[in-house]
């Protein structure tokens, strides 16, 4: 379409609006809309208001350059992608592809597997399923995220703290001397297995407490690998 008049009328009809309805939605007088569609006006500030209600690219409406309202929707990358190129006017809301953030993006941590957590510090940088934001104060490059497995830390209903299976915890490996009641990731010396429990040191030797009363406390030797500093849990 070569003229503003042609594009303006086509966009209005595609939006299924009469000139009177376009006036009510945009604030642009029907007479002005009619002039634009007749070609009596070539440039006007009213185009921006009309583009908004027609859900059209204002650059296309003005110059013909860019996608028309009926063109296939072009999906734009999410804004948290690194080095994202300039996007077109029209966007759709879609879940971002993984990883959500480029590795090493400030204030993000890697979401890793439990097998990786056992050797996280000694093995150096490893691949991660994705990088996710961590708003808690943490040691950069010393913190990772884990997805909780099992129900040993799912507390009884009504308890303040609970970590159901599938929730994500943030672990700072710089914090290896937890206080009483803090949640930790620990390596059990005898079985060489990782576990997520509450740290206890009252009434004698250190031990580990599950929040779920169906599970038994752990009183065998263990090494604390890191302290939990936060949690993310999806809504049901």
Is the pLDDT at 84 greater than 60? The verdict is no
pLDDT bucket at 24, cuts 50 / 70 / 90? confident
What integer pLDDT is reported at residue 57 of this predicted model? Answer: 83
Q: Give residue 100's pLDDT.
A: 60
For range 111-134, the mean pLDDT:
81
Q: Which helix or strand (DSSP H or E) is residue 105 part of?
A: none
Q: Can you say whether the dihedral through the CA atoms of 219, 225, 230, 236 is positive or negative?
A: negative
Helices and strands of the chain, counted as H and E runs: 6, 8
Whether 85 has a pLDDT exceeding 70, the answer reads no
- For the cut 90, the answer to whether the pLDDT of residue 218 exceeds it is yes
Both tokens of 185, joined, read 């990731």
| Per-residue pLDDT tens over the stretch 36-74 | 888 887 656 777 888 888 888 888 888 888 788 887 654
* Res. 219 pLDDT band, cuts 50 70 90: very high
Q: Helix 4-14 and helix 30-38: axis angle, to 10°? A: 120
Query: Looking at residue 202, what DSSP letter applies?
Result: S
Which of 113-117, 132-136, 213-217, 226-230 has the lowest average pLDDT? 132-136
- Domains along the sequence of the chain with CATH: 1-95 (1.10.260.40), 108-232 (2.10.109.10)
Task: Supply the pLDDT for residue 72.
Answer: 67
CA distances from 71 to 18, 55, 90, 147 (A): 21, 12, 10, 41
SS3 185: strand
Q: Is the pLDDT of residue 130 over 50?
A: yes
Question: Quick one: CA torsion of 235, 150, 98, 172, rounded to 10 degrees?
Answer: 100
Whole-model pTM: value is 0.57
Mean per-residue pLDDT, 83-108? 57
Residue 227 in contact with residue 197, Cβ under 8 Å? Answer: no
The candidate with the shortest Cα–Cα distance to 64, out of 155, 137, 128, 1, is 1
Report the C-alpha gap between 116 and 112 in whole angstroms. 6
pLDDT at residue 88 in the model: 45
Alpha-helical segments (H) within 41-169:
46-54, 58-63, 114-117
pLDDT at residue 123, rounded to an integer: 65
Across-strand partners of 130? 111
pLDDT tens-digit readout, 142-178? 899 999 999 999 988 766 789 999 899 999 999 999 9
- Which tokens sit at 90? 């029209």
Across 80-84, 188-192, 218-222, least confident range: 80-84
Mean pLDDT of the region 104-127: 81
Burial class, 172, CB count within 10 angstroms (exposed 0-12 / middle 13-18 / buried 19+)? buried
């Amino acid at each position: 379409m070569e003229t503003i008049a042609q594009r303006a009328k086509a966009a209005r009809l595609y939006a299924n609006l009469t000139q009177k309805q376009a006036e009510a939605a945009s604030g642009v007088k029907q007479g002005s809309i009619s002039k634009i569609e007749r070609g009596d006006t070539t440039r006007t500030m009213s185009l921006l208001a009309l583009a908004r209600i027609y859900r059209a690219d204002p650059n296309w409406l003005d110059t013909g350059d860019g996608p028309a309202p009926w063109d296939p929707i072009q999906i734009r990358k999410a804004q948290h992608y690194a080095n994202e190129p300039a996007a077109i006017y029209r966007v759709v809301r879609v879940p971002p592809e993984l990883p959500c953030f480029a590795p090493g993006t400030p204030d993000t941590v890697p979401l890793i597997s439990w097998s990786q957590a056992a050797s996280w510090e000694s093995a150096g940088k490893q691949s991660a399923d994705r990088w996710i934001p961590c708003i808690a104060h943490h040691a950069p490059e010393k913190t990772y995220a884990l997805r909780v497995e099992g129900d040993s830390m799912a507390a009884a209903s009504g308890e303040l703290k609970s970590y159901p299976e599938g929730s994500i915890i943030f672990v700072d490996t710089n914090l290896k001397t937890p206080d009483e009641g803090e949640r930790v990731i620990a390596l059990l010396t005898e079985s060489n297995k990782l576990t997520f429990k509450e740290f206890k040191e009252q009434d004698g030797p250190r031990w580990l407490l599950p929040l779920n009363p169906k599970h038994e406390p752990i009183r065998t030797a263990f090494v604390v690998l890191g302290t939990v500093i936060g949690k993310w849990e999806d809504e049901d």
